[in-house]
Amino acid sequence: MSSRAELRTEAPAPFPARPREHDCVPVSVLIPTRNEEANLARCLAPLRGWAAEVVVVDSQSTDDTVAIAETAGAQVLQFHYDGGWPKKRQWALNTYDFQYEWILLLDADEILLDPVKREIAAALQTEAYNGYWLRFQVHFLGRRLRHGGFDLWKRSLFRYGQGHYEQRFEGHETSMSDVEIHEHVVVDGPVGRLRQPVRHENWNSLYRYIEKHNEYSEWEAQLYHTGSGGEVEPSLSGNQAQRRRWLKAALVHVPGFPVLTFLYHYVVRLGFLDGRAGFVYCVLKGVQRFHAKAKWYERELEDAPKASFSPQNDANA
């Protein structure tokens, strides 16, 4: 199946086509959205006057997401997901003519603070690396989660044409999320690591949070069902993405995996020290694992041979 898109061209352009000296950092920022009016303005504000190009890839938002992006001067693309591959960010990387050598991937609920902005600007001046790991600090229900092991490392900064998302499996249903979830960026060549964090703080309601993660569990259940891998090899001694992938593959068959997920984050990684917000976040992590495993079980039943019905079989059941 294929994906199609339309390009909006009427937006103003405060992000200049070429940066003036000592003005903008020569980087193209790519942000996927769908109904992100609660988050997007806070994401875009630190980019104005700093990033030379900002591209928002939207999926027919019904709120003010597009208006917010256009008012900020971002280029807006519309992505229509019909299933299959590529998904939203990879489609943009494949089809849009980015103007700058470096691509920075951000979500609408991720905010660049001044320290990491300075570090990114300095990193782009070197020739040693084709990409960089960035650290994302999670803020939830108004509190930074300092415990629980929730800080994420992602290869979110790379040279245009030198990075792509891995494809975990084919045949995505349209009911799944249209944006890459746990597919990771693979970078050709050496990759460095930046020290300063990016702030990850979703201001959507818990209703919206749970709704999105219901889509994510569809993706994860299908992944468990097909057993597909990807280019990032599971490894207990590898980077964070490889370790997480190894642990999931090792533990997903264990009875009580959702409960173990909660206990790991809340007890072993001291998530209880983050108070009520930490408790809610750890519980939701366990619930998401439960949803994925339950949907996986549902898929296994759907693929199992169906016994023909007879009154005797029904009585025996």
Report if residue 312 sits inside a domain: no
Peptide bond into 86 cis (omega under 30): yes
31 within domain boundaries = yes
Residue 317 domain flag: no
The DSSP bridge partners found for residue 198 are 136
Tokens 């016994």, located at residue:
307
Name the maximum alpha-carbon separation found in the chain: 83
Considering the domain boundaries, does residue 310 fall inside one?
no
Indicate if the pLDDT at residue 16 is higher than 90: no
| DSSP notation for the chain | ---EEEE-------S-SSPPTTTSEEEEEEEEESS-TTTHHHHHGGGTTTEEEEEEEE---SSSHHHHHHHTT-EEEEEE--SSS--HHHHHHHHS--SSSEEEE--TTEE--HHHHHHHHHHTT-SS-SEEEEEEEEEETTEE--SSS--EEEEEEEETTSEEE----S---TTS-SS-SS--EEESS-EEEEEEEEEEE--S-HHHHHHHHHHHHHHHHHHHHHT---SS---TTS-HHHHHHHHHHHHTTSTTHHHHHHHIIIIIT-GGGGHHHHHHHHHHHHHHHHHHHHHHHHHHHHHSPPPPP-HHHHHH-
pLDDT in tens, 245-281: 777 777 788 889 999 999 999 999 999 999 999 999 9
Strands 131-140, 185-187: pairing is unpaired
For residue 28, count CB atoms less than 10 angstroms from its CB and return exposed for 0-12, middle for 13-18, buried for 19 or more: buried
Closest CA to 50 of 96, 119, 98, 107: 119
- Count of the separate structural domains present in the chain: 1
Evaluate whether residue 295 is within a structural domain: yes
Could you tell me if residue 279 is inside a domain? yes
Each residue's pLDDT tens digit, 93-122: 999 999 999 999 999 999 999 999 999 999
Amino acid at 278: G
Sequence-separated (6 or more) residues with CB below 8 Å from residue 18: 52, 99
The pLDDT score that the predictor gives to residue 247 is 78
Q: What pLDDT shows up at residue 173? A: 62
Task: Give me 314's structure tokens.
Answer: 């029904």
Structure-block tokens of residue 70: 């256009």
Provide the domain limits for residue 211: 4-305
Q: How far apart are the first and last CA of the chain?
A: 40
Retrieve residue 186's tokens.
């693979």
Q: Do 215 and 155 touch, CB atoms closer than 8 A? A: no
1 has a pLDDT exceeding 50: no
144 forms beta bridges with 139
Which CATH number covers residue 68?
3.90.550
Task: Tell which residue, 123, 130, 134, has the closest CA to residue 200.
Answer: 134
**Do 143 and 277 meet the contact criterion of CB atoms below 8 Å apart?**
yes
Residue 66 domain flag: yes
| pLDDT tens digit sequence for 211-241 | 888 888 888 888 888 776 677 777 778 888 7
In the predicted structure, residue 306 carries a pLDDT above the cut 50: yes
Q: Which of the pair, 188 or 84, is modelled with greater confidence?
A: 188
Percentage above 70 pLDDT, the chain: 86
133 forms beta bridges with 155, 193
Residue 11 is assigned to a structural domain of this protein: yes
**Other beta carbons within 10 Å of 176:** 19
